[in-house]
Amino acid sequence: MANTIKHILFVCTGNICRSPFAEGLLKKLVQKKGVDDIVADSAGLLALPGNSATGLAQKVAAEYDVDLSGHIAKSVREAIVDRSDLILVMEKAHGESLLDAFPEADGKVFLIRHFAGFGSRNRGIADPYGLNYEAYRFCFLDIQDCVSRLAEYVLQGKGFI
């Protein structure tokens, strides 16, 4: 385990809505601070590699200056799990599935809401896939709350949770 958190992986189901939101937000926040040694990545447990972020995900993200137009979905793989210092999942079931497949990730998998500033830290982030614009916007703002606090934490150079 690294002393500081430098590589963060966000995991959801299809890697086309929630985890790209989180990845894009963290990249934007660390870039804004001029930091280039913190890496944000995302993947899906059931991703169809090559898919883009959904149109509504791209639209909502763009409204907050996060560009998902070049996002390409990918599946969770051993190499990406191994190089990640911290893996943040959107739902408890994601964490369970991830640890079933990659038991070596034990100790670095947390619910993204661990970093939430409001509401329960034990609930998941609702999947907006197939829903309307407002569901995507609510999801984005929920993730933004968590990622903003995560960015503060890692930018302070803090070690593991």
H-helix or E-strand containing 94? Answer: helix 92-101
- Which one is catalytic: 18, 41, 139, 145? 18
Distance CA 4, CA 7 (A): 9
- Which one is catalytic: 121, 127, 137, 149? 127
Q: Does residue 37 carry a catalytic annotation? A: no
Q: Does residue 18 carry a catalytic annotation? A: yes
Burial class of residue 135 (count of CB atoms within 10 Å of its CB; 0-12, 13-18, 19+):
middle
Q: Does residue 146 carry a catalytic annotation? A: no
- Which one is catalytic: 12, 17, 139, 146? 12
Residue 122's contacts (CB-CB under 8 Å, 6 or more residues apart) are 111, 113
Distance CA 11, CA 88 (A): 6
Catalytic residue numbers, as ranges: 12, 18, 127
